[in-house]
Amino acid sequence: MSTKLLAKFLVTCAFVMALLVLSLLNGCSSDEPPAAPAAPEVSVITLKPQSQVLRTELTGRTQALLMAEVRPQVGGVVQRRLFVEGSEVKAGQVLYELDAAPYRATVAQAEASLAKSRASLKAARVTAKRTAELASIEALSRQDNDDAQANVETAAADAKLAEAALETARINLTYTRIVAPISGRIETSTVTPGALVVANQETVLTTIQQLDPLYVDVTQSTTELLRLQRELAAGTLRSAAEGEADMSLRLEDGSLYNHTGRLKFSGARVNEGTGTVTLRAEIANPDRQLLPGMYVRGVLEQARDDQAILVPQQAVTRAASGATSVLLVVDGKVEQRPITVDRAVDNQWWVTSGLAAGEQVIVEGGQKVRPGAAVSIVENVSVKKEG
């Protein structure tokens, strides 16, 4: 093939290849616009008002309903201890016996003194009678008669003193048997038989505490108390009970005590050091599970909101400043709204402002959308079941 023909062939091949490429490019192009991306899908819950009880958990300690420190009222040597330490005793039960011999002797002496005084009174009366008869016939001076009558009054007073001394001696004799002033559980004894005790000594012999029922003293901050009073006055909350309220106990190990107490009174004085007031409840303790001085947490039902709005905690975002907000779907688009939360209720937040019943809050998928974006929604059933 000549050079001229070869050049012509190459030009023809290049032209054909250009036509093929142009045809392919025209075949790939289209007049239709590209399809729009699908709206992201988010999971929402529709808010509904709920009835919620406002429970406040307060720290406190248990206190015995009654407590008595047992001390001797007379001195003497302890002869017997008549109780088992740690047992239940009844009021009037004998706990200790002291050596009573000196007190029995004192009683005998007082009885003799009383007999002597009564005899003297009898003799004085006889003398006074005779003196009065003689004075009436002027056989005796009026002065002698007055003295005789005064002797009767003196003897009568001596007789009364002797009666009082005898009563005191008998009382002291009964005090040699030291009895329980109240019913309850008795503590360890600080003395043993043979020990010498004295009247009204500083050291107690033992202590008795009544354990059923018990008092539970808890403290509440005045800030919380004032806020509760404002909400009750404004009608946001209503009182859970008139005058009294139920209180359940959470023990030191976190378990709930199986009896419910009743709030008896609220203190009228604020502790200046802590800014708290004391609340006292009375609670049954038939199994003696609670002991005085135990640390507990009192769960107190103070008020109720019949139109409470709760949202899952996972739906709430908290900024570094502490402000809280949620994402909602309004007319198919995402809206971010600030809210105010009061307290946690299980896995939800109790919302006090910013949300209303019927609104749809995003609980899942919020991290992939922005405010103003169009979204498709799916009702979240699992969150409803948990709430």
For residue 68, the model assigns a pLDDT of 95
CATH code at position 155: 1.10.287.470
d(CA 295, CA 290): 10
d(CA 312, CA 305): 18
| 219/292 same-domain check | yes
For residue 78, the model assigns a pLDDT of 96
The domain total for the chain is 4
For residue 7, the model assigns a pLDDT of 58
| 47/111 same-domain check | no
pLDDT tens by residue, 121-139 = 999 999 888 888 888 887 7
For the chain, percent helix, then strand, then coil, each to nearest 5? 30, 35, 30
Domain presence at residue 358: yes
| 270/374 same-domain check | no
| 143/215 same-domain check | no
CATH code at position 191: 2.40.50.100
pLDDT tens by residue, 15-58 = 656 656 555 555 555 555 555 567 788 889 999 998 887 777 88
| 90/128 same-domain check | no
Q: For residues 328-343, give the mean pLDDT.
A: 89
Question: Which of 274, 305, 336 is the last residue before a domain boundary?
Answer: 305
Question: Which of 175, 192, 225 is the last residue before a domain boundary?
Answer: 175
| 233/243 same-domain check | yes
Residue 363 belongs to what domain range? 42-52+307-386
Question: Which of 305, 326, 350 is the last residue before a domain boundary?
Answer: 305
Pairing of strands 177-179, 94-98: antiparallel
The strand pairing partners of 97, in sequence order, are 80, 177
Encoded tokens for 101: 């011999």
Instruction: Return the sign of the alpha-carbon dihedral for residues 375, 379, 385, 387.
Output: positive
Return the beta strands (E) in 122-222 as ranges. 177-179, 184-186, 196-197, 206-221
CATH code at position 330: 2.40.420.20
